[in-house]
Structure formats: C-alpha cells, structure tokens
C-alpha cells in the first residue's frame, strides 16, 4: 500500500526515521542521482552492474517493508495491471501544433512577421532545437511529484497515459533540486532511439512477429499499450521542449532559461539546442543539423525555432492552432508512397542474390528514387510484397533506399507474386541457402561473371595458387580490360597484353608470367582452397585431400561420404556437392588442367594412416625455423588437427617465444607442451 502524503513527509525526515527507513531513502536518492547522470547528463557515474545491485537491494528492502513503498520510488517503473481503456484528459493550456516552413523563403517570411508584430528592426533571438520524430506528451507535477501524463490528442483533449509514462526511465517521478513551482506541466516528446528500434524489430523478426515501420510508429504503439508492463519493456525515452502550466512560482524570462531549469530539475533536454541571433544564424543552424541528422542516435524531421524571450512570446500570442512565435522548418521527407513496378535480382561479388525493387520514380530524402533494396527474400515475404503494390519507400541521407511497408488498402486487383529464383540470374548455376539463413547464393563461383573479380583475387592469393605480382588492382585491370573473365584465362595471358596495361613494365610482365608458370605445379589442397568453395578453407581442403587423395574422387563424393571426413558436417558437405554439380565450375577446372595446372595425387588409404591422427595441436608465440602457417600445414599433413584456442580437447601446445595466456591455460589443464626444437624433432621422426 502506498504512503499518504503526510506519511511521505514523515518518512523523508531523516532525523525521525528508523535505520531501515534511512537506508531505503539513501538507496532511492542514490538511484535517482545515477538515473539523472545517465539519462539527463549522458554521463554515467557507475557501471550497470553497480546500478543493478543497488536497485535489487532497494527492491529487497521494499518487499520486506511494503508500507514504506512510495509511488515515486525507482522500483515503481515496472508497470501496473492492464487498463480496459484510456480515460480522457482535458488540457488546461491547449497543446498547439506548429506552422511549418519548407524552404529559406518561408523562414524569411516568418522572421519578417515576427519583427513587424513586435515593431522592431533589430535581430530577434531564437531558441533552436531538433524536431524529434516522436509523440508529444504532457507531464504534470504537483509538489515535485509526477501526478499525470497524457498524450497531445487533438490539442484540447488527450488520453491519460500516466501509468505508461511512469515506466520510462528518463521521466522523473520526482523533481530534483529546488526552486520549482507548486504545479508544473512539462511538455516534450516520447521517442524511440534508433538502436532501441533496431533491437525491438530484430527481436520481433526472431519471433516471427510483425515489425514496426519506423521509430515514431514504434514509440506511438509502445506508449499506447493498455498494459504498462508491455510499455516498460520498450526502449522509450523522453526529451522535454517546453512547459504548459506554471503555478506558484516565478516564470523565467526566456525559453532557454526555462530549459536550463528543467534540466536541473531532472529532465532530459536536447544537447543540440542552441541560440541564434537573427534569421541568418537560424539558417546556418538548419544546415549544420541537416549534416548531423543521419548520425544522431534518434530520428528528427526538422528544426523548431522559438522566439526566446517570454515577454515577446506573450506579445505575439497565438492564432487558432499554433503560436505565432514558433515554427518548424522541416527537412525533405524521408518516406514517400510509390508503386512497385517489378522485382529484379542482383548478384553481388560474393554470390549473394539480392532482390531489388524497381519503382515508379518518387522524390524522397532530397533525391529522385527509382530503385530500392529489399535485402533478401525473407524480407519480401515479411512485407507480403506483390508486384504492382503501392509501397512506402524510406531514404535517410546516403543510406540505400528501402521498401519499408506495403500500403495494403491501395493494393490493385492485378498484382502478382514475387517469385524466388532457383538459379543464378547471371550464370544459371543453382542457388544455395544455408538453413536458418535468409540469403541465397550462387554456387557458380568460378563461372559467374558477377563474382569474377573476387574469385580471381582469391584464386591467385598467397595461400591459394600464390601467383606473385597479381595483386588486387592488377586483377581489376585485367577484368576491366576484358583480358580475364574466369580464372583459367590467367594461364592464357600474353606478354604483350600485360605490357599494354597501365604501370606494367617489361620486368614486371616477365615476373608475372614466371609466377603464373610456377603456379601450374601445385598441390591438391592448395587447388581446392583456390576454387573458393564456400566454407572450404585450408584445413578442410587438406582434410579432403588426405581422405580422398584425388580430385576425381572428391567430385563424385556423396553427402554421407563427405561427412566422414574430419570436421566436415552436413552444411559444408552440401556446399561441396553443389559446387561440383555446377557444370560451369567443372568446365573451368577442366580448362585449368588442359592449360597445364597439375598436382600429385596421394593414395587415400595411406592418407588415413597418418601418424598424428587424433591429436589436436595449438600453436602460440613466434617461430624462427618456419612460420606458423608452415607449421600448421606440416602438422595437418601428418594427420593432426590444428585449433586456434586451448580447450580440454587439446593434446599438444607448441609454444614459441612470446607465448601468453594459451600457455598458461595449457599448463593449468596439464596439456603436453613442446617448444620449436621439439616440434622440429617430431617432424624429423615422422616424415
């Protein structure tokens, strides 16, 4: 049961309080101070763990002494029982909207009207602040305690959301400091920060629930929950922008002074707020904020300008729906409605297939947009998208435009479904999709022109075919000039072709050709790795070689057989099968062999009798006789597994100079430890 007012006064008098009461009051004051530093000053005083510890301690005290629980205790933000509906609240001072400006001409006209009505020629001082894209609310405090929260509604009448706003951490339940009036109405915006919005939608997608279209909709939906406990779970924030009722106290002389007081009393104010002397400084502020807009942690849709002096505001007065002394200079709209004409498919450099919306051109976010990202085919399904639909398109700054939602009430009768492709739209190879993943990928790694640059760069890299001199820039040149379309074309390059390239002299050309010639004699593990099969790294390539001994046997291996290879599971086996099922990939492999790329095969049976099979090594520190990569390769060739971290499964740790935490953990677990000389001796005894 909550305390009555006289009880509250009694319990806040420390001199008369018991030890338990004093501890409860101390914890509340400490938590209030930490809340103020975190939510208002953006300057946390303690780690979250310390705050949680104190909060739990207060909860424990209050659970043992329920008669000492007050409505403004930090523990009382968790939400009450659900409401049947919201009751109505009549605003004593109407919550008016603002007139809008859309360009500098509108702003100039606004400033001119202000000066004419005030009868002055001097510049007017304006208070400037971002226009948060949230929900306007009113908070009423009496004797420093929050007694009512309500929505703006129609400006005259709103909804009572007291229980819901009490759950928002940045809404003070009790005012801080002193000097506040007996009755104070604080007005501001409830909004959802971008990070919280993304987190909320991510959780909704994971549950298969409908996601919110934008942070404003998310804030509105969260604030108007009939169950305050649901609101309490949503990442809402409150930022004040002014006052309504101000009784039993002296009103400050300017808007900026009022905001400074509100900040001292425990309210969050916008850190981007500033004062501008005259219209020119207002326009500069607008330009500066437009640049910052997309990097702010919250969504804004413009700038609000208010005449700063309260005396001048009172002289200017109001029109029917808006104050004469304020205006909102809006940014270009970041969302618009247009029609989806078609969905096409783009293949990225890594083989990811992305659906792209082709739209009726629409002006949004300051540019004309005719294409928008759909991310993946799960997103198409989530949106319920059909070709011909009217859709909401969102664009923020330099972010790629995206389709945010379908306007179902405007769906035409002749829409048609968006089909998911089965083969790559570029090369015709089968598409693959991992279980639990939303992305489709082309399996034609070697033959798909969309992936050619990346596949070639990987093929020539040091751990693959090791063609020295063929760096990324030269590979891009070769592709752009049409000299190399697939990896087999590397072995057809002529000296004259290389000399025609920019920054390639005779010596460089000769060195590149020599490196290409040398790479023809390779090993099967290197070749397998160079092919770029998904999730087939060096270790997996070596394991395949050791198990099968030849490329022909790997090509025809079935899924069950592949899963007998150490460290190859069902997913990787599926990638390998799909890669070799693509006729385009096999064609490129045959071309490479015909051009002279070769390697020695190894009998599969001999490979399975490797002496270090069943042992797991971890390498740490530095090595002088050979590099860590060479040590790993030689261990794997002898049948060992080489892991990156020490665990209970580790059998041997090889420690060079500079070994640190891995060595300590191995000693703790009693794992056998070798130095470099002992590793060399081991190789000599087994090879």
Residue numbers annotated as active site: 131
Tokens 């040590």 locate to: 631
203, two tokens:
């959780």
Asked if 274 and 128 count as a contact pair (C-beta separation under 8 A), the reply is: yes
Half-sphere exposure of 554 (CA within 13 A, CB side): 31
- With a CB cutoff of 8 Å and minimum separation 6, the contacts of 386 are 340, 406, 411, 415, 416, 417, 418
- With a CB cutoff of 8 Å and minimum separation 6, the contacts of 5 are 143
Element (H, E) at 285: helix 279-292
Which one-letter DSSP state was computed for residue 294?
G
d(CA 676, CA 659): 12
Asked if 294 and 397 count as a contact pair (C-beta separation under 8 A), the reply is: yes
Taking residue 383's Cβ as centre, other Cβ atoms within 10 Å add up to 20
d(CA 588, CA 592): 6
d(CA 523, CA 488): 17
Tokens 């229980």 locate to: 163
d(CA 180, CA 90): 23
478, two tokens:
């070769």
Q: Which of 264, 254, 269, 323 is nearest to 97 (CA)?
A: 323
Which one-letter DSSP state was computed for residue 15?
G
d(CA 32, CA 38): 10
Asked if 307 and 124 count as a contact pair (C-beta separation under 8 A), the reply is: yes
Asked if 259 and 240 count as a contact pair (C-beta separation under 8 A), the reply is: yes
Asked if 533 and 568 count as a contact pair (C-beta separation under 8 A), the reply is: no
Report helix, strand or coil for 650.
Answer: coil
424, two tokens:
């790559």
First to last CA, the chain: 81
Taking residue 660's Cβ as centre, other Cβ atoms within 10 Å add up to 10
Helix 472-480 and helix 452-460: axis angle, to 10°? Answer: 140
d(CA 149, CA 158): 10
Asked if 24 and 59 count as a contact pair (C-beta separation under 8 A), the reply is: no
The 3-state secondary structure of 129-175 reads EEEECCEEEEEEEECCEEEEEEECCCCCEEEECHHHHCCCCCCCCEC
Query: Residue 117: what are its φ and ψ, rounded to 5°?
Result: -70, -35
DSSP secondary structure letters along 432-490: E--TT---EEES-TTT-GGGHHHHHHHHHSTTTT--TT--HHHHHHHHHTTS-SSGGGG
d(CA 545, CA 565): 10
Task: Kindly tell me the burial class for residue 374, based on how many C-beta atoms sit within 10 Å of its own C-beta (0-12, 13-18, 19 or more).
Answer: buried
d(CA 590, CA 448): 16
């Amino acid at each position: 049961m909550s305390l009555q007012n006289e009880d509250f006064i009694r319990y806040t008098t420390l001199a008369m309080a018991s030890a338990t009461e004093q501890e409860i009051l101390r914890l509340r004051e400490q938590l209030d101070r930490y809340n103020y530093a975190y939510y208002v000053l953006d300057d946390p005083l303690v780690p979250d763990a310390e705050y949680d510890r104190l909060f739990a301690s207060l909860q424990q005290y209050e659970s043992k002494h329920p008669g000492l629980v007050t409505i403004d205790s930090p523990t009382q933000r968790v939400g009450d029982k659900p409401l049947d509906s919201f009751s109505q609240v009549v605003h004593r001072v109407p919550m008016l909207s603002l007139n809008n400006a859309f360009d500098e001409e509108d702003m100039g006209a606004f400033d001119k009207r202000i000066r004419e009505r005030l009868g002055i020629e001097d510049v007017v001082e304006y208070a400037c602040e971002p226009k948060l894209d949230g929900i306007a609310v009113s908070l009423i405090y009496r004797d420093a305690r929050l007694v009512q929260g309500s929505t703006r509604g129609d400006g005259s009448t709103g909804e009572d959301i007291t229980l819901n706003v009490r759950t928002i951490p940045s809404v003070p339940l009790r005012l801080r400091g002193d000097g506040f009036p007996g009755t104070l109405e604080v007005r501001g915006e409830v909004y959802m920060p971008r990070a919280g919005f993304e987190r909320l939608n991510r959780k909704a997608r994971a549950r298969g629930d409908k996601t919110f279209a934008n942070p404003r909709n998310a804030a509105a939906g969260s604030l108007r929950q009939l169950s305050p406990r649901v609101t309490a779970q949503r990442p809402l924030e409150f930022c004040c922008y002014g006052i309504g009722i101000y009784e039993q106290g002296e009103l400050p002389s300017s808007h900026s002074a009022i905001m400074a007081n509100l900040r001292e009393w425990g309210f969050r104010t916008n850190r981007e707020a500033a004062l501008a002397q005259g219209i020119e400084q207002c326009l500069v502020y607008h330009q500066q904020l437009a640049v910052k807009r997309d990097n702010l942690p919250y969504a804004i849709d413009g700038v609000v300008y208010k005449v700063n002096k309260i005396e001048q505001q009172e002289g200017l007065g109001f029109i029917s729906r808006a104050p004469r002394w304020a205006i909102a200079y809006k940014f270009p709209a970041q969302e618009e409605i247009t029609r989806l004409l078609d969905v096409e498919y783009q293949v990225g450099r890594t083989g990811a297939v992305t659906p792209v919306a082709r739209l009726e051109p629409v002006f949004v976010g300051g540019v004309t947009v005719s294409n928008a990202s759909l991310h993946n085919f799960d997103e198409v399904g989530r949106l319920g998208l059909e070709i011909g639909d009217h859709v909401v398109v969102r664009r923020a700054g330099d972010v790629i435009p995206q389709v945010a939602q379908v306007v179902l009430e405007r769906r035409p009768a002749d829409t048609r479904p968006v089909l998911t492709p089965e083969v790559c739209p570029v090369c015709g190879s089968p598409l693959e999709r991992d279980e639990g993943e939303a992305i489709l990928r082309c399996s034609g790694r070697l033959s798909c022109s969309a992936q050619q640059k990346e596949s070639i760069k990987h093929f020539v890299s040091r751990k693959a075919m090791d063609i020295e001199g063929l760096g990324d820039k030269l590979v891009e040149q070769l592709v752009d000039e049409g000299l190399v379309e697939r990896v087999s074309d590397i072995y057809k390059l002529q000296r004259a072709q290389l000399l025609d390239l920019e920054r390639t002299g005779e010596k460089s050309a000769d060195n590149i050709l020599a490196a290409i010639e040398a790479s023809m004699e390779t090993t099967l593990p290197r070749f397998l790795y160079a092919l770029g099969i998904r999730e087939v790294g060096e270790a997996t390539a070596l394991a395949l070689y050791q198990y099968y001994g030849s490329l022909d046997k790997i090509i025809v291996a079935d899924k069950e057989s592949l899963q007998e290879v150490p460290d190859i599971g069902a997913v990787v086996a599926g990638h390998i099968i799909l890669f070799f099922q693509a006729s385009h990939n096999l064609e490129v492999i045959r071309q490479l062999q015909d051009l002279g790329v070769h390697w020695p095969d190894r009998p599969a049976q001999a490979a399975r009798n490797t002496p270090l099979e069943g042992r797991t090594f971890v390498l740490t520190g530095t090595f002088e006789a050979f590099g860590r990569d060479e040590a790993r390769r030689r261990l794997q060739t002898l049948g060992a597994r080489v892991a990156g971290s020490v665990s209970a499964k580790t059998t041997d740790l090889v420690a060079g100079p500079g070994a640190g935490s891995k060595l300590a953990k191995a000693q703790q677990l009693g794992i056998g430890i070798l130095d470099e000389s002992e590793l060399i001796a081991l190789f000599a005894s087994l090879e």
